[in-house]
A and B are shown apart, each in its own frame.
Chain A
């Protein structure tokens, strides 16, 4: 089983620890996990694992977008905390046409609603975990764990 984790712009503090958390969780569930991120977000994740404890597999987001095809992954997990991240998630979701989880979070609850609406309007069947969060990753982590349990 293969899983793809999509990272958005690295401006939000919760994304990096949650990326490592999601990688570890999915690996333990038996997934062969890949993280797709832009160079800035990749750097933050790489530096978080200096001893290569997690053996993180990180690839370039835009190169992956150009190469990915339906059937390449069994699960898509996307961090959606910006308008562009919602657009990227929906695009990967439509190309891969597989099970997907959208981790929607923002400090502004109206924006959380807006991003959820964008995903729903696309016709996506993604499991959407939407919470108000910025510095504190706990609300995202709790919702992600719940979504994984539902997948099992």
Chain B
């Protein structure tokens, strides 16, 4: 069975929230600030089993030493959050393949 982010966030406490109930642009800025490596993806691209919501180019960040990913997570009533969670090398490669090459 493939990884599902929604289920992971409900069932695991091994993640960190760096911003919550924020605007998308603020969350994108936090991801750019906190990450040592960033790729930019399109809205609707799948990361960890869910389609990422946002305004393009959407930054997805990596902390390669910790082996974690930073991503925006948007809910209609709760705005956007920045979530950092552990990620495997295979998933990192999948995300890097989505890179649009945008810089912002």
Contacts and interface: CB of A to CB of B under 8 A. Distances in A.
Whether chain B is bound by chain A comes out as: yes
Interface of A: 8-11, 38, 40-41, 61-62, 65-66, 82-88, 90-92, 94-95, 118, 121-123
Contacts of B56: 90, 94, 122-123
Nearest to B4: A66
Given A91-B44, A95-B44, A84 B55 contact: no
Given A65-B51, A65-B53, A91-B54, A38 B76 contact: yes
Contacts of A95: 43-44, 51
B54 A90 contact: yes
A101 B43 CA distance: 18
A122 B75 contact: no
Contacts of A118: 24-25, 55
SS class, residues of chain B in contact with chain A: loop
B32 interface: no
Interface of B: 6, 23-25, 42-44, 50-56, 74-80
A70 B51 CA distance: 14
A85 B94 CA distance: 27
15 contacts: A9-B76, A65-B53, A66-B50, A84-B53, A84-B78, A86-B55, A87-B53, A87-B55, A88-B74, A90-B43, A91-B52, A95-B43, A95-B44, A118-B24, A122-B43
A95 B51 CA distance: 10
A8 B50 CA distance: 19
Contacts of B77: 9-11, 38, 40, 84
